[in-house]
Structure 1
């Protein structure tokens, strides 16, 4: 297919020959080594790898939370690399949603106020129909007046998911979104993320260490030693785990 072929999947975010190096001399750490990857619009992609593999660094570079040492990063048609502080703020406000392991909810605000906070800061009002869709999707209509302390961990993370979705960003970056949840609450959040992709066309890029969480994705990309070494489509917990076991071999092959 040519780049102008209408059948070609649209790309929500991409990294092109991205390097991220911290420190100098003997203290130098190479977190990313020439990573090139595309993340399709309307798809759920998981990024996996052992500790220190560069998976969170890659996500932070894609989201404009960290700068690249070399290479280029794009979100949609926007070149993230080289944006000044105001440009990065606008990008994160208008085009990106975030879900973190720590729910990052303000304890003095209700669930509804937390969900609407990014729009309030931006001086925007929610689309009423889309807001209702998001609230029904996360199943929290009867909890909107509750503060975070009155909600379970799973409910708090669903509030965080709704907050990320309500502005209709081009892409949502999720960093270990089930890391602080028990298996049942984690499954609820993952099913919600899965449904937001299938039913509403959302784009999600999720960093995780959990093969079960990764199996909810359409595709899994694997990093090791700062390099992209493999990928899986239509993953299962078993195929993800098998690939993780072979990462050392894959790193040697990449070299």
Structure 2
């Protein structure tokens, strides 16, 4: 299913136009997203930040086709995600999207190599040999390919998950708190790999994080509050991200005090 995109979103790796997500009804109704529009540039690393309940994970899940939307349009490349059938969504996620989660989500009975190649095997596809070698060397796992997850450190397991997300050359990779379960050194290794995949290989990464240091690896940071985009920062540093978060927290506290 394809459709002409607006000037704002044409050429974007992923985009949302006037996106609303409502949970529940009546007094229990929650407006998780309220009219969000954003275009995530191809070949760029975008971080999405915001306080708990701001809608950042909901936005990522809607962009990735993991959650339905109440109103608005989501697209990945030139494919309109909104309204796709279950079969269409499955094909989209299989062929055009990579996922990296906080919990690694590796199968314990498979080796690192088997875990990396699993999505391609399910899709009946073979990896491009040159690209596979590039991914394996970039994540630095060549000597760990025959090891099972229980034989790997947390950082190594997450690098396996990163390689699995990238080996199919997806249109966009969505990473949900990818360093949340890692120590600072392992987290830095994973972030450096994601940064390198963008800089050297043109991959598109969209990462939800609460960590200002993790966000500093991105090209752009989008800030959400109360289900809306309220700010953004280009070429961020950790200090600049922290400063912006403090300003948003102060604004939220002031608004709450006046209600």
TM-score between the two structures when normalised by the length of structure 1:
0.94
Query: Per-residue deviation at 1:246?
Result: 1.4
Q: Provide, for residues 133-153 of structure 1, a one-character-per-residue CA deviation record: whole Å limited to 9, x for no partner.
A: 000000000000000000000
CA distance in 1: counterparts of 2:10 and 2:23, whole angstroms: 34
Partner of 2:45: 44
Distance 1:143 1:9 in 2: 41
SS at match of 1:91: helix
Task: Quickly say closer, same or farther: Cα 1:66–1:141, change in 2 above 3 A.
Answer: same
Aligned: 1:84 with 2:85? yes
When the two chains are superposed, the root-mean-square deviation of aligned CA atoms in Å is 1.4
Deviation of the 1:10 alpha carbon: 3.2
For residue 155 of structure 1, what is the aligned residue in structure 2? Answer: 156
Aligned to 2:3: none
Give the Cα separation in 1 of the matches to 2:204 and 2:72.
Answer: 23
Aligned to 2:178: 177
Partners in 2 of 1:91 and 1:179 — Cα distance?
Answer: 27
Instruction: Specify the alignment match of 2:68 in structure 1.
Output: 67
When normalised by structure 2's length, the TM-score is: 0.93
Q: 2 CA distance for matches of 1:200 and 1:11?
A: 17
| 1:206-241 Cα shifts (integer Å, max 9, x gaps) | 000000000000000000010000000000011101
Displacement, 1:248? Answer: 4.5
**Aligned residue number for residue 196 of structure 2:** 195
Alpha-carbon deviations, 1:152-207, whole Å to 9, x = none?
Answer: 00000000000000000000000000000000000000000000000000000000
CA–CA separation in structure 2 for the residues paired with 1:137 and 1:250: 42
C-alpha contact (below 8 Å) 1:9/1:41 kept by paired residues: no
C-alpha separation between the residues in 2 aligned to 1:99 and 1:40? 19
2: distance between equivalents of 1:225 and 1:11? Answer: 25
SS for the counterpart of 2:13 is strand
Paired position in structure 2 for 1:141: 142
Cα deviation for residue 247 of structure 1 reads 1.4
Structure 2 unmatched ranges of 5 or more: 1-5
Equivalent position SS for 1:102? coil
How many residues in Structure 1 have an aligned counterpart in Structure 2? 247
> Matches of 2:236 and 2:144 in 1, distance apart?
34
How far apart are the structure 2 equivalents of 1:16 and 1:79? 11
- What does residue 214 of structure 1 align with? 215
Aligned to 2:31: 30
Q: Distance in 2 between matches of 1:10 and 1:85?
A: 25
Alignment check: 8 A CA contact 1:230 1:250 kept: no
What is the CA-CA distance between 1:249 and the residue it aligns to?
A: 6.0
**What does 1:122-141 correspond to in 2, within 5 Å?**
122-141=123-142
Per-residue deviation, residues 62-110 of structure 1 (Å, max 9, x unmatched): 0000011010000000000000100000000000000000000000000
SS at match of 1:17: strand
